Amino acid sequence: MKRLIIALSVLGACCAFASEKQPNVLFIAVDDLNHYAGFTGRNPQAKTPNIDRLAAMGTAFTHAYCTVPACNPSRGSLMSGMRPSTTGLYVNSQKWKDFIKEGQGLNHHFRNNGYYTAAMGKIYHENTKPIDYPSGWDTYPSVPVDVNGSKKRDKVSKYEAYFDPLKHDLTDEDLGDWHTVNFAVEQLQKKHDKPFFIACGLYKPHMPFVVPRKYYDLFPLEEIELPPHRKDDLNDVPPIAHTLPSNNEDHKRMLADDRWKSAIQSYLAACAYTDMNIGRLLDALEKSGHADNTIIVLWGDHGWHLGEKQKWRKFTLWEEGTRAPLIWVAPGVTRPGTVCRRTVDFLTIYPTLCDLAGLPFPAHVEGKSLRPLLADVNAEWNEPAITTHGYMNHAVRTDRWRYIRYSDGNEELYDHSKDEYEFQNLASNPEYLAVKKELAALLPAINTPMEKSGEQKKKSRK
């Protein structure tokens, strides 16, 4: 009898284990979406009701940071789980496949562990045509139309659509993101005999700011407010901070042609278009029957300046160039409407998904799982956010401080408890020597030189 009870107990445990469904994953990547999303509170002009709706479904991180302020290396780092200073993938002009081996990608790991993997749009550094390793996806079709609807519009002027609203009429369907969401919706509607990993890579609000007229109309130009700024903002930063970004003339052109408000209007409009598409995606998930067993993660690949610190676009180590949205919905782990204000970076995404899905952590993955913070936003968390832009240029962001050290040894230090727009560089103040020393100890220990990257590195593997 005792043996029978034991046998039945074991059988019951096995059946219970078998009945547990491995969670699905809906992976939403948004290009150039900075922290203007409504839930962060950074810019009250933003209108992102669907992103805010997603934030209310789970845990929203208000202080999340990219590992690189540029598309290609940021995505390569996030998808491989490795820092750019480890791989040597630093800039957009490099080919990410020269630095990330086949099989190291997040999607490869899920597929190798029994998941059905499907994607459309920009996940790694591609737009309409996927260039990922074919072994990483069960299906990854090209976006059927141009991401900017170029066939539907005439040649634009010097500023039009980049910093001004587009004069030509477009429909939602004219842009590639509409079709990318259609693909993801179709995938959600299908019956799957495996858990799924569906990646939806949205291109907007990446430049040019080409969206239908109705999205510009949401933001009347006369109501646009400029971000907090100072004319002398860059007087206390080292010379390398002026030369490192590749867009130093943008702000001068904005002021000379009085286009600052127009550019902000256009960016907000592009964000609103993306928000609409995210709403379509959430509606489809709710109707699919998969919502109760689907992990959702939404992230923007880096920040975006709109005149803060006299800069535009990305490519800086300051707050605006590095901070982006991060939202998690994990059934059974996150609680609706929770907000985490701890400082995290996107190297956490790979291990967190592995943790939530019950997959092993690959040996090459460097980040730590956010699961403790997803379960309790006040849990102990001592990991800084680290951003790298080029060889030996790093920023360390903690809950209070941003410390930047450049390749030439120059430094910047900002106290975010008093200076959230980083107007005052404290690095030269001797009172903060101990703070700088403590933060410098958090800088990456590995710094792969640029000259050992690219084709040289590729050849060394043969």
Sign of the CA dihedral running 420, 55, 215, 159: positive
Sign of the CA dihedral running 163, 169, 172, 174: negative
pLDDT in tens, 36-71: 999 999 999 999 999 999 999 999 999 999 999 999
**Rg from Cα positions in the chain:** 22
pLDDT in tens, 71-126: 999 999 999 999 999 999 999 999 999 999 999 999 999 999 999 999 999 999 88
pLDDT at 132: 82
Amino acid in position 46 = A
pLDDT at 238: 96
Region 414-425: mean pLDDT is 98
CA 66 and chain centroid, separation: 6
Residue matched to tokens 């990257």: 453
Query: Where in the chain are the domains?
Result: 25-460
pLDDT at 171: 92
pLDDT in tens, 370-405: 999 999 999 999 999 999 999 999 999 999 999 999
- Which residues are catalytically annotated? 71, 125
pLDDT in tens, 296-330: 999 999 999 999 999 999 999 999 999 999 999 99
Dig out the tokens for 286 from the structure.
């709710």
- Kindly report whether the peptide bond that precedes residue 208 is cis, defined as omega within 30 degrees of 0: yes
Q: Is the pTM of this model over 0.75?
A: yes
Asked if residue 453 has pLDDT above 60, the reply is no
- What is d(CA 402, CA 15) in angstroms, rounded to the nearest whole number? 51
Sign of the CA dihedral running 344, 346, 348, 354: positive
- What is d(CA 264, CA 183) in angstroms, rounded to the nearest whole number? 30
Neighbours of 248 (CB within 10 A): 14
Cα first-last separation, the chain: 63
Asked if residue 166 has pLDDT above 90, the reply is no
pLDDT in tens, 20-34: 589 999 999 999 999
Mean pLDDT of the chain, nearest integer? 90
- What is d(CA 378, CA 147) in angstroms, rounded to the nearest whole number? 40
Amino acid in position 404 = I
Query: Could you write out the DSSP letters of every residue in 302-370?
Result: S--EESGGG-EES--SSHHHHEEEEEEE-TTTS-TTEEEEEEEEGGGHHHHHHHHHTPPPPTT------
pLDDT at 164: 65
- What is d(CA 335, CA 376) in angstroms, rounded to the nearest whole number? 9
Region 282-291: mean pLDDT is 96
Count of alpha carbons within 13 angstroms of residue 278, beta-carbon side: 32
Sign of the CA dihedral running 365, 205, 154, 146: positive
Which of 114, 113, 103 has the alpha carbon at shortest distance from 136? Answer: 103
Q: What are phi and psi of 31, to 5 degrees?
A: -80, 130
Which of 211, 274, 280, 260 has the alpha carbon at shortest distance from 32? Answer: 274
Q: Which CATH architecture has domain 25-460?
A: 3-Layer(aba) Sandwich (3.40)
Q: Are 89 and 110 in contact (CB under 8 A)?
A: no
Region 429-458: mean pLDDT is 84
Which of 420, 275, 421, 399 has the alpha carbon at shortest distance from 340? Answer: 399
